[in-house]
Structure 1
Amino acid sequence: MRFTPDTLTLLRHPALRTLLGLGLAASCLNTHAARPMITDDARIVDAKACQVESWVKSNKGSTEYWAIPACNFTGNLEVSFGGSAINQNGSTQNQSYVIQGKTLFKTLEPNGWGIGLAFGNAMQPRSDTERHLLSSPYAYVPASFSFKDDRFVLHTNVGWLHDKPNNRNRATWGLGSETQLAERTWLIAETFDQSAGKPFYQLGVRHWLVPDHVQIDTTYGNRFGSGSEERWISIGLRLLSVPFLP
């Protein structure tokens, strides 16, 4: 690894050193995010406001259609519930659902850091032909670190997932970044692991059509070393409201 002055500045961030240490510890013992990232951020929807994240993910041999609404009713608890339909060979094969809560212990500020806790349950069919759903509970700690007045933000996740279909517990982790390219455009890059085998990676761009209210994005992702078998392309739309809840 080449240590540039910017790299050394990142490593001197005391909270970042602590979280990277936790991440290494979790990996030796061996996760939902703002579109289009899988690695979650230490942010939540504004108090009394809601958002809807929707996207299409094209895999080899199948297409996923996702929509996940979320609202912040209390000021420090974002609750989301949504799901997906998977189209394979011209017909919908199965549907899955996710419900999640996320709260913050420290709010992310420019040139500062934030940390929170997310917990939820992912539900999926036992097989393509059965309607009975298997629940896979999970929890993770999202932490975010802001640099250069929010023009570069680093995110880390360390967590746990109970893989019900395979009846085993898994450690999960993620490391991602947001880099501002223009006033409304951001580059995202991340690597993460939520299953057995080699980690995944994803690269993409998000752009605000209406700042803080309407966002579009696109990504390319794959598993390291898997060739074309597990690659995907996604296109997403994110809508955020003004505060309106009582």
Structure 2
Amino acid sequence: MFILNHAALRDATLAPSKSLVFSALILGLSVFSLQTQAGRPMLTDDATLADQCQLESWWQSERSGNSLWLAPACQLAGVEWGFAVARTASGEPQQYQVAAKTELKSLSANSFGITAQLAYEFAAGQHQYGDMHLNLALTQSWQDDAWLLHLNAGRMQRNQQSNDWTAGIALQRELAANQWLFVELHREQAGRPLYQLGYLQEVLPGRLQLDASYGNRLHRQGREDFVSAGAVLYFNLF
């Protein structure tokens, strides 16, 4: 899963009609053979890699406007290679991210896993000057994956602002077969952290996950709240 700077999303706005293009793309990809893997919408990363390939797509609405992201990723030689792009109202790319993620310890039921991810984020028109983010993720499993705890610690090397550390903690609970709830706190910059509450469901088990969430900054009384809805598709290319 991509670790995206939430503050950067505020500059990406999207007209509602553009979502039809991405919806068609998602439906078209469903003809592939797919694999299940955790993904969106948590800001806190999980310590897993895509089994083969995945496509994360999500829409986010906040006070500054709407944004729509596409984030395909594939695993090759033990590394998950990913790329993400946000689309704006004009249809031009606004934000980009490239990332590489690998396992330091594989996650198994009733045990823990560790991953490391290096990501580079930049905005269109900035001559590819951007921010470098190193993130370590640990996931602990209990009761045969009925409970999952995700912990993140990272460092953000910023191009135009002071460098900072990042952190996240998320608790994920399986409600019923193919359904989960989660709650998280995520720190991306100095100040109060973001919180997020969300719901995930595999509407097509082993093929397609849908999700929805609500988030805000602690004690901001709605000034930085956001809602998000997305889909994660898992498929094979080979």
The two structures have a TM-score, normalised by structure 1, of: 0.78
Q: Which residue of 2 aligns with 1:40?
A: 45
Over the aligned positions, Cα root-mean-square deviation in angstroms equals 1.7
Specify the alignment match of 1:118 in structure 2: 117
Name the aligned partner's letter for residue 100 of structure 1: A
User: Which residue, out of 83, 87, 91, partners 2:85?
Assistant: 83
Q: Distance in 2 between matches of 1:234 and 1:86?
A: 16
Which residue does 1:137 correspond to in 2? 132
In 2: Cα distance, 1:86 partner to 1:227 partner:
27
* C-alpha contact 1:62 1:86 (8 A) present in aligned 2: no
Task: Map 1:219-230 to 2 at 5 A.
Answer: 219-230=213-224
Distance 2:178 2:149 in 1: 18
Show the 5 A alignment for 1:193-212.
193-212=187-206
**1:47-79 per-position Cα deviation (integer Å, ceiling 9, x unaligned):** xx21000000001130011000000122x1000
Cα distance between partner residues in 2 of 1:207 and 1:161: 31
Contact 1:188 1:204 in 2 (8 A): yes
1:218 to 200, 212, 216: 212
How far does residue 93 in structure 1 lie from its aligned partner after superposition? 8.4
Secondary structure (helix, strand or coil) at the match of 1:67 reads strand
**Unaligned stretches of 5+ residues in structure 1:** 1-30
1:140-167 deviation line (CA, Å, top 9, x unaligned):
111000001100000000000012231x
Q: Distance in 1 between matches of 2:107 and 2:168?
A: 18
Decide whether aligned partners of structure 1 residues 197 and 86 sit closer, same or farther in structure 2, where only a CA change above 3 A counts.
Answer: farther
Structure 2: tracts of 5 or more residues without a match: 5-37
> What is the CA distance between 1:94 and its match in structure 2?
6.5
Amino acid in structure 2 at the alignment position of 1:95? Q
CA distance in 1, matches of 2:143, 2:84: 34
What is the match of residue 61 of structure 2? 58
1:153 aligns with 2:148: yes
CA distance in 1, matches of 2:92, 2:191: 25
Q: Structure 1 counterpart of 2:50, which letter?
A: V
Question: 1:181 aligns to what SS in structure 2?
Answer: strand
**Counterpart residue type for residue 110 of structure 2:** N
* Corresponding position of 1:237: 231
Task: Detail structure 1 runs of 4+ shifted over 2 Å in the superposition.
Answer: 91-94, 130-134
Q: 1:227 to 1:86 in 2, by over 3 A?
A: farther
Deviation (angstroms), 1:41: 0.6
Q: What is aligned with 1:163?
A: 158
Contact 2:212 / 2:229 at 8 angstroms: preserved in 1?
A: yes
Report the CA distance between 1:131 and its aligned residue: 5.3
CA shift, 1:34, in A, is 1.7
C-alpha contact 1:54 1:67 (8 A) present in aligned 2: yes
- Kindly tell me the number of residue pairs found equivalent between the two proteins: 203
Partner of 2:180 in structure 1? 186
Q: Residue type matched to 2:76 in 1?
A: F
TM normalised by structure 2 equals 0.81
Check whether the contact 2:109–2:142 (CA below 8 A) recurs between aligned residues: yes
* Structure showing greater Rg: 1
Structure ranking higher on relative contact order (CA contacts 8 Å, 6+ apart)? 2
Q: 2:222, 2:122 → 1: CA distance?
A: 27
